[in-house]
Amino acid sequence: MQNMNFSKNISNLRKIRGITQEELANHLGITKAAVSKWEKNQSYPDITLLPIIAAYFDISIDELLGYEPFMEEDEVKKLYTKFIEDFATKHFDEVYNKCIYYEKKYYTCYFLQFHLGLLYCNHAYLAGNQEKIINIYKHTVKVFERIEENCEEVNLAKEALTMKSYCNLIIGKADDVIDDLKGISKVPMPLETILSKAYQIKGDKEEAIKTLQIFIFNNFINSIQAMTDILSCYEDNEEKQKMYIDKLIKIVDVLDLKNEYPQALLNAFTLLSLTYGSKGDKENCLKYLQECVDMVSDTNVFDFKENKNKMFDYLPEFIEGMKIGNILPRNEELIVESLRELIETHPGFTIIRDDIMYDNLLKKLNKFRGK
């Protein structure tokens, strides 16, 4: 499907050129009324006139027509899934260049552009040398920035701002992140609570419950991430670190996330393990690393449909209803491979590398390749 903006373009081109509808009509040998209908989007010119009009304004026919290739959401989903698999099985440059091709071809299809940006973020580390990786992130910042500035879909523009900030953080542009986000938390009341009350007034309790469930779940998950991230801020304050770790584990236990939604814990438990490793606590380092390895070794852990959480029973429907749905941002094997590489190389795990459990954990991860 393509979008055409001929009527808007012809009007703008004429005004830029400083000519009237009548002057354009005379040049083309048609009536002023015909030009007027074009600009009102009531009709199109005869196909034989297109090269003449394009030549007159010194542009291509595609530019004249306002031709903008566009992909439907289902098409984006299929392409996104294909690229995830390609990054896992083919040479990085080959797949990345193909992504760039689609980025240029569908330049104003912001839903596709956003997911190409996600692909770059999640696979840049495969590029090889550090300079190349940084350049990919810089390019990705521009992709998200363009979406943020031009996309009329508010939620997508906000997501693009978030991802732009994430990329800027990776490449060390902390000032840019602060400038973009420092005022974003000054919202007096969450929109979800207002929306749920509106549903209740209308008598739609199901939608009210669904809205609040997803809001509560997202806040819990974001809190777990924040409580994990704050540990590094308190690396010189053991008492504070312990307090946050204790509260974090209590939240995980209360929600029974290890059994009912383990996907939410992989990153948190990895960071917990690293925190204990850097503190010289071998026992807890191994304990939480074992949790991570057990999670990724579970054949269903990457299936977001496998939700048994009774508190958030609308969660599977919510995930499935998302535009990309339950597609992982990276191939399962790449996720496991990243964890294995982290365990083997990160200085925080030095303390456990002489332990038999360390070897067993790596063996368990290696078995995943054969699944």
For 61-101, the pLDDT digits (tens) are 877 877 667 888 889 999 999 999 999 999 999 999 999 99
CA angle 159–160–166, rounded 5-degree value: 90
256 with 342, same domain: the answer is yes
Distance of CA 343 to the CA centre of its chain: 25
Confidence of residue 259 (pLDDT cuts 50, 70, 90): confident
- Residue 301 pLDDT: 65
218 with 150, same domain: the answer is no
317 with 235, same domain: the answer is yes
Given 155, 181, 207, the domain boundary residue is 181
Asked if the structure places residue 186 within a domain, the reply is: no
Domain count, the chain: 3
212 with 255, same domain: the answer is yes
Domain encompassing residue 217: 191-368
Q: How many CB atoms lie within 10 A of CB 170?
A: 16
216 with 272, same domain: the answer is yes
Distance between CA atoms of 341 and 337, rounded to whole angstroms?
A: 6
Whether 17 shows a pLDDT value over 90: the answer reads: no
User: In the chain, what percentage of residues exceed pLDDT 90?
Assistant: 51
Asked if the structure places residue 303 within a domain, the reply is: yes
Distance of CA 211 to the CA centre of its chain: 21
CATH number assigned to the domain comprising residue 14: 1.10.260.40
Q: Positive or negative CA dihedral for 87, 93, 95, 97?
A: positive
Q: Which residue has the higher pLDDT, 265 or 20?
A: 20
Helix 332-345 crosses helix 282-297 at what angle (to 10 degrees)?
160
Confidence of residue 2 (pLDDT cuts 50, 70, 90): very low
The mean pLDDT value for 4-30 works out to: 87
Whether 130 shows a pLDDT value over 90: the answer reads: yes
Distance between CA atoms of 305 and 319, rounded to whole angstroms?
A: 8
Confidence of residue 60 (pLDDT cuts 50, 70, 90): confident
* The two three-digit tokens of residue 264, written as one number: 């939410």
Mean pLDDT of the residues in the chain = 86
User: In the chain, what percentage of residues exceed pLDDT 70?
Assistant: 90
Predicted confidence (pLDDT) per residue in 335-355, tens digit:
888 888 999 999 999 999 999
Secondary structure of 291-313 in HEC code, one letter for each residue: HHHHHHHCCCCCCCCCCCCCCCC
- Residue 21 pLDDT: 92
Predicted confidence (pLDDT) per residue in 161-188, tens digit:
999 999 999 999 999 998 888 877 665 6
Whether 116 shows a pLDDT value over 90: the answer reads: yes
217 with 96, same domain: the answer is no
> H or E stretch including 3?
strand 2-3
Given 43, 69, 95, the domain boundary residue is 69
64 with 85, same domain: the answer is no
Structure letter (DSSP) for residue 106:
T
Helix (H, G, I), strand (E, B) or coil at 360: helix
Q: Which residue has the higher pLDDT, 37 or 255?
A: 37
- Residue 209 pLDDT: 94
Given 127, 160, 181, the domain boundary residue is 181
CB 286 within 8 A of CB 349: no
Beta bridge partners of 3: 68
> What phi and psi values does residue 355 have, to the nearest 5 degrees?
-100, 140
Q: Counting beta carbons within 10 angstroms of the beta carbon of residue 201, is it exposed (0 to 12), middle (13 to 18) or buried (19 or more)? A: exposed
* CA distances to 293, 298, 335 from 368, in Å: 10, 9, 11
Asked if the structure places residue 102 within a domain, the reply is: yes
Q: Counting beta carbons within 10 angstroms of the beta carbon of residue 354, is it exposed (0 to 12), middle (13 to 18) or buried (19 or more)? A: exposed
Does pTM surpass 0.85? no
Predicted confidence (pLDDT) per residue in 181-238, tens digit:
887 766 566 778 888 999 999 899 999 999 999 899 888 888 999 999 999 999 899 9
59 with 105, same domain: the answer is no
> H or E stretch including 68?
strand 68-69
235 with 364, same domain: the answer is yes
Helix (H, G, I), strand (E, B) or coil at 59: coil
- Residue 187 pLDDT: 56
- Residue 1 pLDDT: 33
Asked if the structure places residue 333 within a domain, the reply is: yes
Q: How many CA atoms lie within 13 A of 133 on its CB side?
A: 13
Q: Which residue has the higher pLDDT, 42 or 320?
A: 42
Q: Which residues contact 156 (CB under 8 A, 6 or more apart)?
A: 110, 111, 114, 147
How close are the terminal C-alpha atoms of the chain, in Å?
Answer: 39
